[in-house]
Amino acid sequence: MNKIDTNNLPKHIGIIMDGNGRWAKTKGKLRLFGHKSGVKAVRETVEMSAQIGIKFLTLYAFSTENWSRPKSEVKSLMRLLISSINSETKTLLKNNIKLKSIGDTNLLPQDAKEQLNSSIEKTKNNNRMTLILALSYSGRWDIISAVKKIIKHKITSDKIDEQLFEQYLSTKNVPNPELLIRTSGEYRISNFLLWQSAYSEFYFTDTLWPDFRKSDLEKAIIDFQSRERRFGNTVEQKNQAC
């Protein structure tokens, strides 16, 4: 197998971690078992990303739309969120990883908010990699929140351009993701980083999230490294630039 070229790493990888429910079903278990089993995949992905030198990793953990799942599943997911952040904080500290979140986290239950904020605070001086959890997140929410803030700051239309707009998104000061991975064989973005993924390279795998391992991440990065990113230009222009 080809090896990762460490001189051509994506700075920022986003992952839509999907397929926990189906994974559990194939084993004759409840959906929650799939969610719990997904935590190991999170740990491996985070550790490997930091090891190879990725600077930003955004994990889509809970979408705005996921609030409409059965109450019992939402409740279990919130409990799992609290216990996982609590138990993983020491690994983040050991690996020098900073935790951040994006999304409408005001909607999270109080204890989840407290756990999240406490881990964000504890890891705030880490600088090897930033792990961004997308919680109660949707790309449309992000864009609408930016518009609201711009209006609140009374910014006039002549001042608005892409650079300014990005300063009002939840990913302010975070580079756009070059690579977006979705597991579980679904080919859609499900309201993830809509603005930010304008020029992302997409990688889809049939692997269900709880089965996602370091080798899967490695495959995705190697595939990314074989892509020709043209940003609207012609092949000839691209070759000239090299």
Binder among 10, 18, 36, 177 for ligand IPE (CB under 6 A): 18
Which x/- pattern, by CB under 5 A, does the window 15-34 give for Mg ion?
Answer: ---x----------------
Q: Hey, what are 43's tokens?
A: 């740990």
Regarding 85 and contact with ligand IPE (CB under 6 A), the answer is no
SS3 126: coil
Beta carbon of residue 187, minimum distance to ligand IPE (angstroms, whole number): 10
Q: How many CB atoms lie within 10 A of CB 242?
A: 4
Regarding 63 and contact with ligand IPE (CB under 6 A), the answer is yes
Please name the helix (run of DSSP H) or strand (run of DSSP E) that holds residue 62, with its range, or none.
strand 56-63
Between 25 and 79, CB nearer to Mg ion: 25
SS3 54: coil
20 binds, among Mg ion, ligand IPE, none (CB under 5 to 8 A by kind): ligand IPE
Beta carbon of residue 36, minimum distance to ligand IPE (angstroms, whole number): 11
- How many residues bind ligand IPE (CB under 6 A)? The answer is 18
Q: How many CB atoms lie within 10 A of CB 127?
A: 11
Binder among 76, 118, 145, 190 for ligand IPE (CB under 6 A): 190
- H helical segments located in the chain: 20-26, 31-52, 71-94, 110-122, 139-152, 162-167, 214-225, 235-241
> Would you call 18 a catalytic residue per the annotation?
yes
The b/e string for 15-53 (b: 16+ C-beta within 10 A; e otherwise) is bbbbbbbebbeeeeeebbbbbbbbbebbebbbbbbbeee
Between 17 and 174, CB nearer to Mg ion: 17
The b/e string for 86-100 (b: 16+ C-beta within 10 A; e otherwise) is eebbeebeebebbbb
> Would you call 66 a catalytic residue per the annotation?
yes
In the set 7, 20, 66, 211, the catalytic residue is 66
Regarding 22 and contact with ligand IPE (CB under 6 A), the answer is yes
Kindly list the residues in this chain that would bind Mg ion in the complex (CB under 5 A).
18
Active-site residue set: 18, 66
Kindly list the residues in this chain that would bind ligand IPE in the complex (CB under 6 A).
16-22, 60-63, 66, 77, 184, 186, 188, 190, 209
